[in-house]
Structure 1
Amino acid sequence: MYRPLLFAATAALTITAPLAAQQTPQTPPAPPVAAKKPHQVKAPFGAVREDDYYWLRDDTRKNPEMLAYLKAENAYADAVMAPTKPMQEALFKEITGRIKQDDSSVPYLDNGYYYYTRYEVGGSYPIVARRKGSMDAPEEILLNQPEMAKGANFFQIGGSGVSPDNRLLAYAEDKVGRRQFVLKVKDLTTGKTLEDAIPNVQAGFAWAGDNKTIFYIEKDPVTLLGKRVKAHVLGTPATADRLVYEEKDDTYSLGIGTTSSEKFICIYSGKTVSDEQRCAPVANPTSFAVIAPRERDFLYGADHVGDRWIIRTNWNAPNYRLMTVADSATGAGKAAWKDVVPHSAQVFIAGVQPFDNYLAIEERSGGNKRLRLLDNDGSSRFVEADEPAYSMGLSINAETATDWVRYTYNSLTTPATVIEANMKTGERRTLKVTPVPGYDASKYVTERLWATARDGTKVPVSLVYAKGFKKDGTAPLFQYAYGSYGYSTDPGFSPMLPSLLDRGMVYAIAHIRGGQELGRAWYDQGRMFNKKNSFTDFIDVTRYLVDQGYAKKGRVAAMGGSAGGLLMGAVTNMAPQDYAAIVSLVPFVDVVTTMLDPTIPLTTGEYDEWGNPETKASYDYMLSYSPYDQLKRGAYPAIFVGTGLWDSQVQYYEPAKYVAKLRTLKTDSNPLIFRINMEAGHGGKSGRFERFKEQSEYLAFALDQLKVK
């Protein structure tokens, strides 16, 4: 186990710092060199590994030697990236120029009020507001986030919710970036924040019907796992909060929310292969009844509307089916559930939103997600799309007594669009197209391709390029993927895309196994002992695009973040010659050591994603691809690694160790940049413009390596 390191006054970090005074224009700066300190990492079954950089872990984030190393890396990054400053500034100006600064969201109706967010010119954070009954009514500002964020290095509102009587607003606030939120309450009649403040909670919560009780999830202060559901009564001390439920199994995570009918508060316990849901009436939430007890390989989620429950489940249905049970029969368990939409081997049910008279169903087919509207009488229709590769998903639908369903649509060429569709008539009306100043969608083309992986599997690829592009094998390619947790990377518009495409680049998303674009089997084929499929799929997509003339070999940049950073580390080790540049953001690269430590956030809940290395079979397989452990002496591409010191999802010391070790092994002269945001967590800096500064830096890095001007 980790113990804080003790330092003597002379125990200084060995760093070659890129000081300007030591440089000449012709002399490249020397990279930092981290000290090696022998440390053994032991597995319960006896395996031992040497980890010379384990000392870089400091859970307090106060170790002066560690901080000195990170600062030296940032200084080195500044020096090496200095020649790209003009490109960074150009990209930032272009990207932010495509953002309407005083933009606002489409209002939605909830319990008599229209809610929306809006930005003011120059504002980094939104103002959350509402109007009673009509958008012509006076504006009530709920959260003035620009004011709330003043003086904070990081600021985030994780969630907010108004009490049933519309009088109080609860919200979760984070000013560190570690996702340990503080639950606060604002009186909307007076504008004053109440004295109630509950620290170390998850972002989600639920109001009881009495308008004074809030159910929230308390985190473990070490693992950051949501462990306990508590009920707080306004005006009472947090120490008096009632314990409602405690999750004893650390492999499960907790969630809480209110059903679509607003009649029930539900507690959700879940992991990769098992779910359990318990609910209580909002009017009297004293006893939570389990909908169906947890079983391994049994997944479900239940929502309530009218006098029935709608259940999405994999029970005898790998691609899920929809079932229903009346309120009066919920105590009978699964035996009382009846099919609404049966299982299909070709169609994956990704989600459902119940309304009083119909269901809006998110389905995946052919790699795309589409919407199906199912009437209570059994008739249905699909919401149409006009492009070969697109992203479609349910938007906020707070009211269930309506024939209109609101959804979002966008693609690699189409900016995010909010649309309403009428269940009865099929009519569609566009409520908003996100304004993109200076952008002309007709100048670009999007395609859906199917690359053949080495085992014969067809892997979907979404790509976009400027009109006039010639498939002659000379273009630079920027390829992205994620491919873990069953998360599907749907193709969506980004204001950075035209900056790449206008410079002659092709942008591609590889929908590799480990996502869920092609159903649950697609996910299962990219996790646990099948994880290497994710990596080889990505490499094979790259080679396919090069072979088909979409890109030139040696002019390919790859990017991924978090679990996608694991992907980047793996493909860098497996096929370094295929990539000129790698952008790896908050990367999960120290797989075995992290998964051997149950005190690290997320570890215990991910045994069914990666495996549990406490068993030899999982240990050996995970070790065989863990990027940190598989680093070897040799030539590597140019690599940009980014992290946040306060990251709670992938701890900063994973990429720190990875970079320190790689510096000692790489035999090439390609740059290795390590950028550490000392005031941010997993999502980078807060504020809508700050992230574009970070994006402009790593894009400039990639463009520079691809010789794109």
Structure 2
Amino acid sequence: MTSPSQMLQVAATPPFARQVPHTVKSPNGDRIDEYYWLRDDDPKTKRPEVIQYLEAENAYTDAKLAPLAGLQKQLVAEMRARIKEDDSTPPVYDRGWWYWREFKAGDEYPRLMRQRGNAERMDAKAKPELLLDQPALAKGQAYYRVGATAVSPNGQLLAWTEDTTGRRIHTLRFKNLATGQIYPDAVPGTLEGMAWANDNRTVFYILQDPVTLQSGPVYRHVLGTDAKSDVKVYEEADKTLFVGVDRTASGKYVVIGVRGTETAETLVVPADKPATPVKVLLKRRDKVRHSADHLNGRWVIRTNENALNFKLVSAPENAADVRSLWRTLVPARDQATLEGFALTTRGIAVEERVNADTRVRLLGQAAGKALDLPAGTVVALGEHRDPAAAHLRYTVTSMVQPTATYDLHLKSGKPVLRKLREVPGYDAKLYATERLWAPSRDGKRIPVTVAWRKDKAQANGQAPLLVVGYGSYGYSYDPNFSSNRPSLMDRGFVIAIAHVRGGAELGEGWYADGRMMNKKNSFNDFVDATQALLKAGWGAPDKVFANGGSAGGLLMGAVANQAPQLYKGMVLDVPFVDVVTTMLDESIPLTANEWQQWGDPREKPAYDYMLSYSPYDNIEAKAYPAMLVTTGLWDSQVQYYEPAKYVARMRARRTDSNPLLLATNMKAGHGGASGRFEILNEIAREYVFLLDLAGAAK
């Protein structure tokens, strides 16, 4: 029988995965993948040898971090102490009700609430109503997440989607809000979103593709009928595109939005006549993206047609696709990107980005002047459900300032602070943030946002430096506040966000210059930004760390191959690291949808370019930084076997003895643990890993 000391000794030995040569075929060349056997696509279980290997890696990670268990526990306590346990979101108005989510002390999940009122305020005499009790629904579940909720137009019914595996496979469910009855209707295998028709009986939803878990056909379900009799409304033939459903601001239409990296199409169904065949509102055009909403008898359209950074136009209700009838509301501009808009009965609010910062304006009203705030501050449109609401919601935050939620009174133009996020024990005056501009090797200026605690760090070349980044899909990595980061800054860390190409911080050109055959710019920018930070004194050369997740994990893996000597340690969260093999396999979720992000490796130039940077394919016999790699067994976005194979090959090939750890959440998917406190254990594990390497594990 194995003794506890023997078990600990085994766990302290790094597991080496067996090598089984497997040929990955492609039209442009074959490659050998010796760890391909770690792949198991079964959606409910995995082969014993796969589980055994992942559990061995987990045991090794636990053993290596065991001396830091006390600090990890301390960090969890610190981060939990900064969470106001009995908290709620600021109520938002929608058709006679104010809706919010509230947590009670100790709860991992919120309750969905509402209270009657008018557009100005809640009715103080009305009683709050519990709509969805997530803590009760999550009881007994290893994982629980509500995808989306939607109240029927008459306010009497609730539809919601829930995921109980972490694989983003949802079930659509319904509740009678007057009686509290949960209907037997249940539609499994759906995407998150749904849209009610005006009959308060019909709901439009999207069935998932059973293999790729992406957009399948749009169906409509009539409450009280068997889901097997649901009618197919629309099916997109091009599987590289995503499909979504929504209601217009006017409530007059259900919108089916088809979108891709380089095209879009909008179809509609009259919400009063849900059985009406779909009608194309805006046809798809190559290289043209758009989104549309409807109010006051007109369509308002955000489009990049002849407008790289998007423009806003209005169009007649029955001739939305007739360009000659379009009226420009916000013109195309080189220095400002139109990122979104919201329709109200008193005007149109727009969210724009200039020099990597966002701002909000209300068109045609002096009250909507862009707010003049310091660089590095994020001003964004908030939740806005009812165009007849008396207020326009927006939020203000930064890396060191907890989120403030404001309502701009649309008639008076006066802003009202609805809520300043309470962060117990946190004093914003102790911290500072600054925007820097780092020179790239090809002459660009890379925006970098830096945050630190003023009495613990300064630009003197002595501080441990953590550089984080993403740089993909045109998603901007905004410098939002996190109540967890003070645990690093309080111990002397400087934290920097490198806004590398591939994001859209400097417009759509910044995005285009970091995708497809320009993807290496993202990696070069991250390295160049790190070097600029060191030159400016923002970190000690021997205490530089990096972190990125998902596509940001691809960034980390490529940077580790390119400039391993620059970083002492890296954290790769659910990293996309096996680029070529994944993009060759259409059965893997997201593959076909993302050929226009990375390239199609069935084509020789794309294959060669992707192969030249794919982190897994470029691991060499050389020294690498210390690494902590995380994944979720049920991840549907980056399959668990990518990080697992990456660690296995890295362990076999590298020449250093730096820590190399793999942590697999055996019960979750891409986002890790689902509870607000559960996730803190995973964050604290990453922090102790970094603090130990920095010599700050006290």
TM-score, normalized by length of structure 1? 0.95
- Corresponding residue to 1:93 among 63, 67, 77: 77
Q: Mean alpha-carbon deviation: is it higher for 128-137 or for 388-397?
A: 128-137
Question: Residue 423 of structure 1: CA displacement?
Answer: 4.5
Alignment-derived partner of residue 7 in structure 1 = none
Distance 1:514 1:495 in 2: 27
Alignment-derived partner of residue 246 in structure 2 = 257
Alignment-derived partner of residue 453 in structure 1 = 440
Q: Any conservation in 2 of the 1:634–1:665 contact (CA below 8 Å)?
A: yes
Question: Residue 380 of structure 1: CA displacement?
Answer: 7.5
Distance 1:402 1:63 in 2: 54
Change (3 A) 1:418 1:18: farther
Is 2:149 the partner of 1:160? yes
CA displacement 1:34-59 (0-9 Å, x = unmatched): 111111001124x1000000110001
Distance 2:201 2:671 in 1: 33
Question: Residue 379 of structure 1: CA displacement?
Answer: 6.3
Alignment-derived partner of residue 56 in structure 2 = 72
Distance 1:20 1:148 in 2: 41
Distance 1:597 1:443 in 2: 50
Q: Any conservation in 1 of the 2:514–2:521 contact (CA below 8 Å)?
A: yes
Question: Residue 386 of structure 1: CA displacement?
Answer: 3.2
Q: Any conservation in 1 of the 2:367–2:414 contact (CA below 8 Å)?
A: no
- Corresponding residue to 1:366 among 341, 351, 355: 355
Change (3 A) 1:142 1:23: closer
Q: Any conservation in 2 of the 1:213–1:232 contact (CA below 8 Å)?
A: yes
Alignment-derived partner of residue 36 in structure 2 = 54
Question: Residue 88 of structure 1: CA displacement?
Answer: 0.7
Question: Residue 354 of structure 1: CA displacement?
Answer: 1.3
Alignment-derived partner of residue 415 in structure 1 = 402
Alignment-derived partner of residue 564 in structure 1 = 552
Alignment-derived partner of residue 114 in structure 2 = 130
Change (3 A) 1:22 1:325: closer
Alignment-derived partner of residue 293 in structure 1 = 283
Question: Residue 703 of structure 1: CA displacement?
Answer: 1.0
Amino acid aligned to 1:214: V
| Counterpart mapping for 1:336-347 below 5 A | 336-347=325-336
Question: Residue 430 of structure 1: CA displacement?
Answer: 0.8
CA displacement 1:102-141 (0-9 Å, x = unmatched): 0011111111111111000000000111112235311211
CA displacement 1:458-478 (0-9 Å, x = unmatched): 000111111243321111011
Q: Any conservation in 2 of the 1:253–1:271 contact (CA below 8 Å)?
A: yes
Gaps of 5+ in 2: none
Alignment-derived partner of residue 553 in structure 1 = 541
Question: Residue 28 of structure 1: CA displacement?
Answer: 8.8
Q: Any conservation in 2 of the 1:554–1:577 contact (CA below 8 Å)?
A: no
Gaps of 5+ in 1: 1-16
Is 2:370 the partner of 1:383? yes
Question: Residue 427 of structure 1: CA displacement?
Answer: 2.2
Q: Any conservation in 2 of the 1:116–1:128 contact (CA below 8 Å)?
A: yes
Amino acid aligned to 1:549: G
Question: Residue 23 of structure 1: CA displacement?
Answer: 5.1
Alignment-derived partner of residue 339 in structure 2 = 350
Amino acid aligned to 1:646: W
Distance 2:311 2:659 in 1: 50
- Corresponding residue to 2:311 among 312, 321, 327: 321
| Counterpart mapping for 1:609-624 below 5 A | 609-624=597-612
| Counterpart mapping for 1:417-496 below 5 A | 417-423=404-410, 425-468=412-455, 469-496=457-484
Is 2:21 the partner of 1:34? no
Distance 1:351 1:640 in 2: 36
Q: Any conservation in 1 of the 2:453–2:489 contact (CA below 8 Å)?
A: yes
Question: Residue 225 of structure 1: CA displacement?
Answer: 1.4
Amino acid aligned to 1:124: E
Amino acid aligned to 1:394: L
CA displacement 1:293-338 (0-9 Å, x = unmatched): 11210111001111111100000000100011121433x5333222
Is 2:204 the partner of 1:215? yes
Distance 2:546 2:180 in 1: 48
CA displacement 1:364-415 (0-9 Å, x = unmatched): 101101111102xx86743314332111211111221245210111101110
Alignment-derived partner of residue 13 in structure 1 = none
CA displacement 1:219-250 (0-9 Å, x = unmatched): 11111111100011111111110010001111
Question: Residue 420 of structure 1: CA displacement?
Answer: 1.6
Q: Any conservation in 2 of the 1:251–1:271 contact (CA below 8 Å)?
A: yes
Question: Residue 623 of structure 1: CA displacement?
Answer: 0.4
CA displacement 1:235-288 (0-9 Å, x = unmatched): 111111001000111110110000111111000111101011101211113122
Alignment-derived partner of residue 21 in structure 1 = 6
Alignment-derived partner of residue 120 in structure 1 = 104
Distance 1:144 1:222 in 2: 32
SS class of match (1:166): coil
- Corresponding residue to 1:631 among 619, 627, 642: 619
Is 2:95 the partner of 1:111? yes
Alignment-derived partner of residue 14 in structure 1 = none
Q: Any conservation in 1 of the 2:367–2:413 contact (CA below 8 Å)?
A: no
Distance 1:244 1:20 in 2: 62
Amino acid aligned to 1:643: T
- Corresponding residue to 1:670 among 658, 662, 667: 658
Distance 1:167 1:495 in 2: 37
Distance 1:370 1:589 in 2: 34
Amino acid aligned to 1:58: D
Distance 1:661 1:648 in 2: 22
Distance 2:291 2:344 in 1: 16
CA displacement 1:578-622 (0-9 Å, x = unmatched): 111100000000000000000100000101100000001000000
Distance 2:5 2:406 in 1: 54
Alignment-derived partner of residue 531 in structure 1 = 519
- Corresponding residue to 1:278 among 260, 267, 272: 267
Amino acid aligned to 1:445: A
Distance 2:415 2:499 in 1: 29
Amino acid aligned to 2:532: Y
Change (3 A) 1:90 1:135: farther
Amino acid aligned to 1:552: A
Distance 2:564 2:493 in 1: 21
Amino acid aligned to 1:70: L
SS class of match (1:329): coil
Distance 2:247 2:226 in 1: 24
Q: Any conservation in 2 of the 1:514–1:526 contact (CA below 8 Å)?
A: yes
Amino acid aligned to 2:298: R
Distance 2:86 2:281 in 1: 45
Alignment-derived partner of residue 44 in structure 1 = 27
Q: What's the Cα RMSD here?
A: 1.5
Change (3 A) 1:104 1:81: same
SS class of match (1:624): helix
Distance 1:222 1:23 in 2: 40
SS class of match (2:237): coil
CA displacement 1:69-117 (0-9 Å, x = unmatched): 0010011111011011112111111111001000011111111111111
- Corresponding residue to 2:255 among 266, 269, 286: 266
Alignment-derived partner of residue 140 in structure 1 = 129
Alignment-derived partner of residue 601 in structure 1 = 589
SS class of match (2:363): strand
- Corresponding residue to 1:701 among 681, 689, 695: 689
Distance 1:550 1:62 in 2: 45
Amino acid aligned to 1:49: R
SS class of match (2:620): coil
Q: Any conservation in 1 of the 2:190–2:205 contact (CA below 8 Å)?
A: yes
